[in-house]
Protein backbone atom coordinates (compact mmCIF):
# COMPACT_ATOMS: atom_id res chain seq x y z
CA UNK A 1 0.00 0.00 0.00
CA UNK A 2 1.22 3.46 -0.78
CA UNK A 3 2.51 5.32 2.28
CA UNK A 4 0.56 8.45 1.30
CA UNK A 5 -2.69 6.56 2.01
CA UNK A 6 -1.70 5.56 5.53
CA UNK A 7 -4.42 6.46 8.01
CA UNK A 8 -3.85 9.66 9.92
CA UNK A 9 -7.14 9.81 11.77
CA UNK A 10 -9.88 7.98 13.58
CA UNK A 11 -11.38 4.82 12.17
CA UNK A 12 -14.74 5.72 10.63
CA UNK A 13 -16.41 2.66 9.12
CA UNK A 14 -15.87 -1.03 8.45
CA UNK A 15 -17.89 -3.33 6.20
CA UNK A 16 -17.35 -7.05 6.61
CA UNK A 17 -18.83 -9.50 4.14
CA UNK A 18 -18.37 -13.23 4.55
CA UNK A 19 -19.65 -16.13 2.51
CA UNK A 20 -19.36 -19.69 3.80
CA UNK A 21 -20.49 -22.90 2.13
CA UNK A 22 -21.63 -25.99 4.00
CA UNK A 23 -22.43 -29.54 2.95
CA UNK A 24 -26.20 -30.17 3.26
CA UNK A 25 -26.90 -33.53 1.64
CA UNK A 26 -25.79 -35.61 -1.33
CA UNK A 27 -27.21 -33.11 -3.82
CA UNK A 28 -27.21 -29.71 -2.11
CA UNK A 29 -25.15 -27.17 -0.21
CA UNK A 30 -26.05 -24.31 2.11
CA UNK A 31 -24.43 -20.97 1.37
CA UNK A 32 -24.50 -18.41 4.17
CA UNK A 33 -23.58 -14.79 3.58
CA UNK A 34 -23.34 -12.03 6.16
CA UNK A 35 -22.87 -8.30 5.79
CA UNK A 36 -22.05 -6.06 8.73
CA UNK A 37 -21.42 -2.31 8.70
CA UNK A 38 -19.91 -0.70 11.79
CA UNK A 39 -19.59 3.06 12.32
CA UNK A 40 -16.93 4.00 14.82
CA UNK A 41 -17.82 7.68 15.34
CA UNK A 42 -21.05 9.49 16.10
CA UNK A 43 -22.52 11.05 12.98
CA UNK A 44 -25.40 13.19 11.77
CA UNK A 45 -28.08 11.62 9.61
CA UNK A 46 -29.33 13.36 6.49
CA UNK A 47 -32.31 14.54 8.58
CA UNK A 48 -29.91 16.20 11.04
CA UNK A 49 -30.27 13.73 13.90
CA UNK A 50 -27.20 12.74 15.92
CA UNK A 51 -26.68 8.97 15.61
CA UNK A 52 -24.39 7.11 17.99
CA UNK A 53 -21.59 4.92 16.74
CA UNK A 54 -22.26 1.21 16.37
CA UNK A 55 -23.69 -1.34 14.00
CA UNK A 56 -25.63 0.18 11.09
CA UNK A 57 -26.37 -2.95 9.06
CA UNK A 58 -26.07 -6.58 10.08
CA UNK A 59 -27.85 -9.10 7.90
CA UNK A 60 -27.53 -12.62 6.64
CA UNK A 61 -28.78 -14.67 3.73
CA UNK A 62 -28.87 -18.48 3.62
CA UNK A 63 -29.34 -20.24 0.30
CA UNK A 64 -30.08 -23.90 -0.29
CA UNK A 65 -28.47 -24.63 -3.66
CA UNK A 66 -28.77 -27.73 -5.81
CA UNK A 67 -25.26 -28.68 -6.98
CA UNK A 68 -26.43 -30.40 -10.15
CA UNK A 69 -27.84 -27.24 -11.73
CA UNK A 70 -26.97 -24.34 -9.36
CA UNK A 71 -30.65 -23.70 -8.70
CA UNK A 72 -31.59 -21.80 -5.55
CA UNK A 73 -34.14 -24.10 -3.93
CA UNK A 74 -34.77 -22.01 -0.84
CA UNK A 75 -33.71 -18.75 0.79
CA UNK A 76 -33.79 -17.40 4.32
CA UNK A 77 -33.03 -13.78 5.23
CA UNK A 78 -32.26 -12.44 8.70
CA UNK A 79 -32.15 -8.70 9.40
CA UNK A 80 -30.24 -8.57 12.68
CA UNK A 81 -29.65 -4.79 12.69
CA UNK A 82 -30.96 -2.15 10.29
CA UNK A 83 -30.81 1.65 10.42
CA UNK A 84 -34.55 2.28 10.04
CA UNK A 85 -37.60 0.40 11.30
CA UNK A 86 -39.04 0.43 7.76
CA UNK A 87 -36.03 -1.61 6.57
CA UNK A 88 -37.60 -4.62 8.30
CA UNK A 89 -40.34 -4.52 5.66
CA UNK A 90 -37.81 -5.81 3.10
CA UNK A 91 -37.37 -9.18 4.83
CA UNK A 92 -39.10 -11.02 1.95
CA UNK A 93 -37.71 -8.99 -0.95
CA UNK A 94 -35.46 -11.83 -2.10
CA UNK A 95 -38.19 -14.50 -2.07
CA UNK A 96 -38.73 -14.13 -5.86
CA UNK A 97 -35.23 -15.50 -6.53
CA UNK A 98 -36.27 -19.00 -5.39
CA UNK A 99 -35.97 -21.20 -8.44
CA UNK A 100 -33.36 -19.05 -10.18
CA UNK A 101 -30.20 -20.68 -11.43
CA UNK A 102 -26.86 -19.01 -10.73
CA UNK A 103 -25.57 -18.60 -14.27
CA UNK A 104 -25.07 -15.86 -16.85
CA UNK A 105 -27.67 -13.15 -16.49
CA UNK A 106 -28.21 -13.87 -12.78
CA UNK A 107 -27.31 -10.34 -11.69
CA UNK A 108 -29.73 -8.69 -14.12
CA UNK A 109 -32.55 -11.07 -13.15
CA UNK A 110 -32.00 -10.49 -9.44
CA UNK A 111 -31.94 -6.71 -9.86
CA UNK A 112 -35.18 -6.87 -11.84
CA UNK A 113 -36.92 -9.15 -9.32
CA UNK A 114 -35.65 -7.70 -6.04
CA UNK A 115 -34.08 -4.31 -6.70
CA UNK A 116 -35.33 -0.78 -6.36
CA UNK A 117 -37.92 0.49 -3.91
CA UNK A 118 -39.33 -2.91 -3.02
CA UNK A 119 -35.93 -4.24 -1.95
CA UNK A 120 -32.85 -3.54 0.12
CA UNK A 121 -29.62 -2.37 -1.47
CA UNK A 122 -27.53 -4.14 1.14
CA UNK A 123 -29.30 -7.49 0.79
CA UNK A 124 -28.95 -7.22 -2.98
CA UNK A 125 -25.23 -6.42 -2.68
CA UNK A 126 -24.72 -9.38 -0.36
CA UNK A 127 -26.60 -11.77 -2.64
CA UNK A 128 -24.56 -10.65 -5.65
CA UNK A 129 -21.33 -11.33 -3.74
CA UNK A 130 -22.68 -14.75 -2.77
CA UNK A 131 -23.36 -15.88 -6.35
CA UNK A 132 -19.73 -16.41 -7.51
CA UNK A 133 -18.83 -17.73 -4.05
CA UNK A 134 -21.63 -20.27 -4.44
CA UNK A 135 -20.02 -21.46 -7.63
CA UNK A 136 -16.74 -21.97 -5.72
CA UNK A 137 -18.65 -23.86 -3.02
CA UNK A 138 -20.20 -26.17 -5.60
CA UNK A 139 -16.78 -26.84 -7.13
CA UNK A 140 -15.38 -27.60 -3.64
CA UNK A 141 -18.34 -29.90 -2.97
CA UNK A 142 -17.85 -31.81 -6.22
CA UNK A 143 -14.06 -32.00 -5.87
CA UNK A 144 -14.29 -34.01 -2.65
CA UNK A 145 -14.64 -37.18 -4.68
CA UNK A 146 -12.29 -38.35 -7.41
CA UNK A 147 -13.99 -38.42 -10.76
CA UNK A 148 -13.17 -39.30 -14.30
CA UNK A 149 -13.46 -36.70 -17.03
CA UNK A 150 -17.11 -35.84 -17.63
CA UNK A 151 -17.53 -34.14 -21.03
CA UNK A 152 -20.99 -32.78 -20.23
CA UNK A 153 -19.80 -31.21 -16.99
CA UNK A 154 -16.67 -29.82 -18.68
CA UNK A 155 -18.78 -28.33 -21.50
CA UNK A 156 -21.17 -26.70 -19.01
CA UNK A 157 -18.28 -25.24 -17.01
CA UNK A 158 -16.64 -23.97 -20.16
CA UNK A 159 -19.88 -22.34 -21.33
CA UNK A 160 -20.51 -20.66 -18.00
CA UNK A 161 -16.94 -19.49 -17.28
CA UNK A 162 -15.39 -18.61 -20.63
CA UNK A 163 -14.70 -14.86 -20.94
CA UNK A 164 -15.40 -14.25 -17.23
CA UNK A 165 -11.77 -13.47 -16.29
CA UNK A 166 -8.19 -13.72 -17.57
CA UNK A 167 -7.80 -17.35 -16.47
CA UNK A 168 -10.92 -18.26 -18.44
CA UNK A 169 -10.09 -16.22 -21.54
CA UNK A 170 -10.67 -18.03 -24.81
CA UNK A 171 -7.03 -17.76 -25.83
CA UNK A 172 -5.71 -18.88 -22.43
CA UNK A 173 -3.97 -22.20 -21.74
CA UNK A 174 -6.63 -23.57 -19.41
CA UNK A 175 -9.50 -23.06 -21.86
CA UNK A 176 -7.31 -24.49 -24.60
CA UNK A 177 -6.68 -27.62 -22.54
CA UNK A 178 -10.40 -28.10 -21.80
CA UNK A 179 -11.28 -27.54 -25.45
CA UNK A 180 -8.68 -30.10 -26.48
CA UNK A 181 -10.17 -32.64 -24.07
CA UNK A 182 -13.60 -31.92 -25.60
CA UNK A 183 -12.20 -32.12 -29.15
CA UNK A 184 -13.25 -28.51 -29.80
CA UNK A 185 -11.27 -26.01 -31.85
pLDDT tens digit sequence for 18-56: 999 999 999 999 999 999 999 999 999 888 999 999 999
DSSP 101: B
pLDDT value at 162 more than 80: yes
Q: Which of 1, 24, 10, 5 is nearest to 141 (CA)?
A: 24
**pLDDT (tens digit, 9 = 90+) per residue, 104-149?**
899 999 999 999 998 999 999 999 999 999 999 998 888 887 776 7
In sequence order, the β-bridge partners of residue 59 are: 35, 79
Q: What number is the average pLDDT over the span 95-107?
A: 94
Q: Which of 7-11, 60-64, 177-181 is most confident? A: 60-64
CA 70 to CA 61: how far, in whole Å?
16
Q: With beta carbons less than 8 A apart as the criterion, state whether 172 and 166 touch.
A: yes
Q: Give the pTM.
A: 0.82
The pLDDT-based confidence of 91 (bands split at 50, 70, 90) is: very high
Sequence-ordered alpha helix ranges (H) in the chain:
106-114, 121-142, 151-161, 173-181
CA 36 to CA 18: how far, in whole Å?
9
Residue 14, H or E segment: strand 13-23
CA 52 to CA 61: how far, in whole Å?
26
Amino acid sequence: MRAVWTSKGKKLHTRNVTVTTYHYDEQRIVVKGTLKDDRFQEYYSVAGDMVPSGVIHHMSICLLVNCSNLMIEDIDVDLIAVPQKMCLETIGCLDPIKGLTITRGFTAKVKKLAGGERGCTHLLELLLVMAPATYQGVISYRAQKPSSFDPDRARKMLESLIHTCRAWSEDGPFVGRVKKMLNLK
